Amino acid sequence: MLSIWICLKVQHDIAALAIRSSKPVIPPIVLQKFYVYMLFIYSLREFSGKLVSPRYTQIKTQNDKFAHNLELLTEDGKFNYAAYLLSDSNGLSIKVAKYSSLDRVDLIENEEYGYCSLIKATKQVLDKLAIKNKTFAKITPQKRQERKLIDPVALREAVINAIIHNNYANEIPPKFELFPNRLEITSAGGLPLELDENEFFMGYSVPRNKELMRIFKDLEMVEYLGSGVPRILRKYPRSIFTFTPNFIRITFPFEESLEGGQTILTDQATDQATDQATDQATDQDDRLERVLQFCTVPRSRMEIQEFLGLKHRRSFKETVLQPLLESGLLIQTIPDKPSSPKQRYITSSGHKGNE
């Protein structure tokens, strides 16, 4: 097991440090921090997994030295744990769970995205949460007003940060949990040794997994600049973050519907209305997913409408077409001419159904 190997390695390094130290006893807090620090260092870079000839179809540019250049090898030339996480086949699985209750008792949905490259799993999680991130809409004489359950920019930053900064030493992946009133994103590992909470919120960047960070940056999925947390704080208070010695959790509260727009169900709402709202939300998720599967080849607006059995063009555009286009899951074949009669729609290459 990875953690056992790391423990033995760290014990060796701690013993060596104690021998070199001029002090007879190293304070326990120092040993603890040193252990945590070395755990991060050895988790991805030095641990050699069981990979022999892995495939990396998610990494487009490859040559004879790409593994060395991307620091995917140990000092003795074997593939390290970062290489294992990025390979097309591995044992890591990221879960997206949904509960009907405010606690973790009533689980109604549990999907796994993994056993594949961490890059592909990340795209799949982003796609899933983009569909779940519903849009409230209100049509006024002046303009159309919209609001998402969660700010899309903050959501994307939080998902990617949780995945690339996760401590994989104990083989614990990040998890994503949807409740009726919030989304919780939990990643393993507290703050890095070199960073305190104030520095974290100020946007200082200390990449935990530099190998993953570099590849995600090359794919333009992340930046080195430490702008992720400030982007989240632009929309949400610091209080959505919870820090423990072993985990970091972000809790996104769901936005209410636009005032005067969709009905907000209160405690006095009937059970029937609640059931109808739940059924409609589920039907909408299924409908959007069906469209993405249908549009793996270019389709016209009329073809998609007929596929769904929808007669009203305006309703189709507001409830199906526009949300998918805004989320980036569906793209236009002629983006420069949105109203072209030759316009077709196709599922984006990043969606799991089109890979």
Summarised one tens digit per residue, pLDDT across range 156-172 is 999 999 999 999 887 89
pLDDT given at position 233: 94
At 32, give phi and psi (nearest 5°).
-65, -45
Q: Which residue would you say has higher pLDDT here, 85 or 65?
A: 85
Mean pLDDT of 121-138: 87
Q: What are the structure tokens assigned to 339, written together?
A: 């109203």
CA distance 305 to 352: 22
Phi-psi region of 46 (alpha: psi -120 to 50; beta: other; left: phi over 0): alpha
Using the 8-state DSSP alphabet, how is residue 202 labeled?
A: T
CA distance 353 to 15: 51
| Dihedral of the alpha carbons of 164, 166, 169, 172, in degrees to the nearest 10 | -120
CA distance 340 to 178: 39
| Dihedral of the alpha carbons of 127, 130, 131, 135, in degrees to the nearest 10 | -160
85 neighbors 79 (Cβ within 8 angstroms)? no
Q: What are the structure tokens assigned to 347, written together?
A: 């599922």
pLDDT given at position 268: 35
**What strands lie across the sheet with 93-99, from one edge to the other?**
107-114, 93-99, 175-179, 182-188, 247-253, 241-243
CB neighbour burial string for 324-340, b if at least 16 within 10 angstroms, e if fewer: bbebebbbeeeeeeeee
Mean pLDDT of 21-27: 53
Residues 6+ apart with CB under 8 A from 320: 287, 288, 291, 304, 308, 310
Q: What is the pLDDT of residues 187-229, one digit of tens each?
A: 998 888 888 999 999 888 888 888 898 889 888 888 766 788 9
Q: What is the pLDDT of residues 104-120, one digit of tens each?
A: 999 999 999 988 999 99
With cut-offs at 50, 70 and 90, classify the pLDDT of residue 261.
very low
Q: Which residue would you say has higher pLDDT here, 123 or 285?
A: 123
State which fold the 95-253 domain adopts.
Heat Shock Protein 90 (3.30.565)
Amino acid at 148: K
Phi-psi region of 328 (alpha: psi -120 to 50; beta: other; left: phi over 0): left
Q: Please give the sequence-ordered ranges of beta strands (E in DSSP) within the chain, or none if there are none.
A: 93-99, 107-114, 135-139, 144-148, 175-179, 182-188, 241-243, 247-253, 330-332, 345-347
CA distance 11 to 16: 9
CATH code of domain 271-354 = 1.10.10.10
CA distance 84 to 116: 10
Domain coordinates of the chain in residue numbers?
1-44, 48-90, 95-253, 271-354
Strand 93-99 relative to strand 175-179: parallel, antiparallel, unpaired? parallel
Q: Which of 3, 91, 93 is nearest to 51 (CA)?
A: 91
Mean pLDDT of 1-12: 50
Alpha carbon 200 to its chain centroid, in Å, reads 19
The whole-model pTM stands at: 0.65
Q: What are the structure tokens assigned to 142, written together?
A: 């002046």
pLDDT reading at 140 higher than 90: no
CA distance 10 to 335: 54
Amino acid at 258: L
Mean pLDDT of 32-49: 52
Phi-psi region of 254 (alpha: psi -120 to 50; beta: other; left: phi over 0): beta
CA distance 301 to 271: 36
pLDDT reading at 248 higher than 90: yes
